[in-house]
Amino acid sequence: MSASVLVADDDPNIVLSLEFLMKRAGYRVRVARDGEQVLAAMAEETPDLVLLDLMMPKRSGYDLCQIIRGNPAWPGVRVVMLTAKGQEVERAKGMALGADDYITKPFSTREVVDRIKRMLEG
Amino acid sequence: MRAPPPGAVQRLRWCFLALGAAVVLAGGWGAPPWAVAAGAGALVALAWGVAELRLARPLDRLARDLMAAARDDPYRAPRPRQGWATRIGQAAAAVQARLAAAEADRAALLAAATARSEEQKRRLEAILLDLSEGVIVCGRDHRVLLFNQAAAGLVAAPHALGLGRGVAEVLSRAPLAHHQERLERRAEAQPERFVCATAGGERLLYARMALLADAAGAPSGYVLTLTDAGGDLDRAARLERLLRTGIERQRGLLASLRAAVETMADAPDLTGAERQAFERVLLEESLTLGEQNAALAAALDAFGGPAWPMAEIATADLFALLARRAAVLAPPVAIVPAGLPDWVYADSLSLLDLLEHLCGQLARDCGVDRLTVEGTREHGRVCLDLVWTGTPVPEGTLAAWLDLPFEGRSAADARAVLERHGTACWSQAARHGEALIRIPLPSAEAPETARRKLPMRPEFYDFDLADRPAVTDALRDRRLRALDFVVFDVETTGLELSKGDEVVSIGAVRVVNGRVLPLETFERLVNPGRPIPPESVRFHGVTDADVADKPPLSIVLPQFFRFAAGAVLVAHNAAFDMTAIGRAAAACGLVFDHPVLDTLLISAWLDPEEADHSLDGIAARMELVLTARHNALGDALTEAAILVRQFERLEARGIDRFGPLAEAIDLSARLRQHRMAF
């Protein structure tokens, strides 16, 4: 079965592209639009990778990343932070809280797909 | 009463003599004894009455006149006619005349001095009046000694600004006390620049504080220079918020645009409906981006201005101040400062308020009563870490703490302090069951960081570390992390200890639980009892003048012995340092039989392929940022930081107990000795 990706972002316009790109790369894609939806989707079926926006309603991406890393039921889930927060200290915080990668908006779609492919297949 | 003329006194004298003689003769001639007694009694009464009138009363009056002159009226002369006390009266008048003359001189001098000081005061007032900045001069107790009209115009309640009144009636006391304390902690301190609110929080002022010293050089108060900051800071804060949110919003828009465009280009097989959806994104996001751009440009026009004033802050100062504040929190938190001294670029008061806020929340919500605070260099920033034994604070909880009402008045809330410093904070797990809250800050240069590149001391191998008497079996099995270490360094008059070179300084620092404790240090200059050659002064900077009044090693060494009691001694090229103190120790009756480790030999064991095991070489490989000066304590601090890193690497290679380490470095020492011999 193909790998599954959970796209978590509250901006429908970026979700449109991300969802299309992930599907075309051959992954099964689900979408969550706020922090609580992310946790619900995770509980329903553990994805292989979460594309996590930092600034979401209800729970921030940092909060979610810490929860995912603290839950032994989700040991192998890859977390890629996708954010408009560009400060170096935000990246340091993301990595410190357990993110596998941190991609700053705007980004190259090809690069995002390549990095996710490497992470899921490498 | 009138004084009798001189002739009358003579006559009275003779009259008494005659009466006395008559009474005596009457007794001799057979007059009855009662008549003689009555005559004698009458004579005594008469003499008493005359003495009262002629002597006692004039003397009493004279005394009162003199008392008045002495107390409050130096010009009051005793009246001259004084009965039998005439000559005493004349003498008293002469003394009083001298007193009156001296008083007149004093008054004249005082008048001249007052006139001079009035003139100086008028000049000072003219200068102060002319300044557009507000100036307030205060004593150490924050009472106003002097102020100008500009200061009265800047504070919100000018009527409350008065001589002798507390400056806290017009300005927020916390920043004044904080910066006064910081200045008084460092004798050589530059004036502090900071932001200070008015007492009621109505207005923000830029403040500059410089200390005043008394004749002996002790702090006696401070001078505050004030300018209006409120408008500037308000504008700066609003601009920063607008820019930051605007930029983040733009990134999101750009991301959508770019993703949509790239997807459309890469996927010519899009269906009509899919293509329409992407085209809608392109249009919407381009329009919004245009609006965003215009809004940002308008914000820049409206709110351009200077930023919050920041200064170089020593982390050691910050931690010491935090320790004092945390000790009186409810519940209190014990603060243990750790790590190498470092410098950050920050607004010290608001940063301290933030740290205190976090300590308080950790104590209340997580039951933390003891925190290690440490500055750690990472990616060119200095991370302030609050470390406790336990689990990390969940991000959601930490975020809620940052939004809680803030006890400090230095910022609206804790989050505003982070924004002011362009940073964020988070909580993560640390090693050995510990967790930490980390606040990265911009690093600053220490005011003095010059470090000379020094030639290396010769290595010594006449010394078996592993076979030192103190290395007992119990010690061999102790975990390195569970031992106390005293890392030390000595500076000497030269390198030839066998030819009489002597110690000129000892510096040491304690390492406990795998952490450098920068406040637990030992630092002494020592009089070597012989001149320090110039080439050695170049080494360590200690001159003959520096040590002239310092105690000899025989006084200092027992102090160091007590400091090092119960610890493992560590030095870089330890044989040199141990030899340097060895002879004097024997003379003092001290035996330094501590277990000893050597950071040079550990380095040689860890990295046998490296050629340079000098302190500077190792520090450079470890990318340690050395802010400590090159002296005995500075080098001891560097060695301590190296030792802590070495323990981490040793543990990674399975060496976590003293015995195996001592054997490994002993082997390494023998190999080096062997290699150097050929």
Whether residue A102 lies within 8 A of chain B, CB to CB, comes out as no
Per-residue pLDDT reduced to its tens digit, B253-289: 888 888 888 888 888 888 888 888 888 888 888 888 8
Same-domain status, B123 and B166: no
- Looking at chain A, the number of H-run helices and the number of E-run strands are 5, 5
Residue numbers of B annotated as active site:
630
Per-residue pLDDT reduced to its tens digit, A95-113: 999 999 999 888 888 889 9
Same-domain status, B352 and B424: yes
Per-residue pLDDT reduced to its tens digit, B510-556: 998 888 888 788 999 999 988 888 888 877 888 888 888 889 998 89
- Tell me, rounded to whole angstroms, the distance of Cα B604 from its chain centroid: 40
Mean pLDDT, residues A31-44: 95
Same-domain status, B15 and B109: yes
Q: Is the peptide bond before A106 cis (omega within 30 degrees of 0)?
A: yes
Tally Cβ neighbours within 10 Å of residue B511.
24
Q: For residue B56, what pLDDT band results from cuts at 50, 70 and 90? A: confident
Nearest-CA residue of chain B relative to A23?
Answer: B263
pLDDT of B461 reads 45
What is the Cβ-side half-sphere exposure of residue B377, based on CA atoms within 13 angstroms? 16
pLDDT of A6 reads 97
Q: How does strand B485-492 pair with strand B192-197?
A: unpaired
Angle, nearest 10°, between helix axes B315-327 and B173-185? Answer: 130
| Tokens coding B527 | 């009089």
Same-domain status, B477 and B438: no
Q: How many domains does chain B divide into?
A: 5
B447 domain residue, yes or no: no
Q: Is the peptide bond before B331 cis (omega within 30 degrees of 0)?
A: yes
Task: Output B49-57 pairs: Cβ under 8 A, ≥24 positions apart.
Answer: B50/B12, B53/B1, B53/B83, B54/B4, B54/B83, B54/B84, B55/B83, B55/B84, B55/B85, B57/B1, B57/B83
pLDDT at B470 over 80: no
Nearest-CA residue of chain B relative to A21?
Answer: B263
Per the CB < 8 A criterion, the answer to whether B427 and B435 are in contact is: yes
For chain B, positions 272-291, list CB contacts with chain A under 8 A.
274, 277-278, 281, 284-285
Max distance between CA atoms of chain B, in angstroms, equals: 169
pLDDT at B629 over 50: yes
What would the DSSP string read from start to end of B428-477?
Answer: EE-STTEEEEEEEEEB---S-------PPPPP--S--STT-TT--HHHHT
pLDDT of B232 reads 65
Same-domain status, B534 and B664: yes
- List CB contacts (< 8 A) between A23 and chain B: none
Same-domain status, B627 and B534: yes
Domain boundary pick from B130, B154, B185: B130
DSSP state of B225: E
What is the Cβ-side half-sphere exposure of residue A67, based on CA atoms within 13 angstroms? 18
Same-domain status, B365 and B411: yes
Same-domain status, B593 and B636: yes
Question: Average pLDDT of chain B?
Answer: 82
pLDDT of B31 reads 72
| Beta carbons of A96 and B428 less than 8 Å apart | yes
- List CB contacts (< 8 A) between B425 and chain A: 93
- Tell me, rounded to whole angstroms, the distance of Cα A3 from its chain centroid: 14
B171 domain residue, yes or no: yes
Question: B254 is in which domain, residue-wise?
Answer: 232-303
Specify the residue for token string 């609580």.
Answer: A36
Whether residue A58 lies within 8 A of chain B, CB to CB, comes out as no
Hey, which bits of B160-310 come out as E strands?
192-197, 204-213, 219-228
Same-domain status, B428 and B479: no
pLDDT at B8 over 90: no
Domain boundary pick from B240, B271, B303: B303
Q: What is the CATH number of the domain that holds B169?
A: 3.30.450.20
Same-domain status, B103 and B147: no
pLDDT of B449 reads 41
Mean pLDDT, residues B646-668: 86
What would the DSSP string read from start to end of B27-65?
Answer: HHTT--HHHHHHHHHHHHHHHHHHHIIIIIHHHHHHHHH
Per-residue pLDDT reduced to its tens digit, B322-365: 998 899 988 999 999 888 878 888 888 889 999 999 999 999 99
Mean pLDDT, residues B591-603: 89
Per-residue pLDDT reduced to its tens digit, B553-572: 988 999 999 999 989 999 99
Sign of CA dihedral B247, B253, B258, B259: positive
Same-domain status, B292 and B330: no
Domain boundary pick from B228, B246, B261: B228
How far is it, in rounded angstroms, from Cα B481 to Cα B476?
13
DSSP state of B283: H
Same-domain status, B637 and B521: yes
B450 domain residue, yes or no: no
- Looking at chain B, the number of H-run helices and the number of E-run strands are 21, 17
| Beta carbons of A62 and B426 less than 8 Å apart | yes
Domain A4-121 matching CATH 3.40.50.2300: the answer reads yes
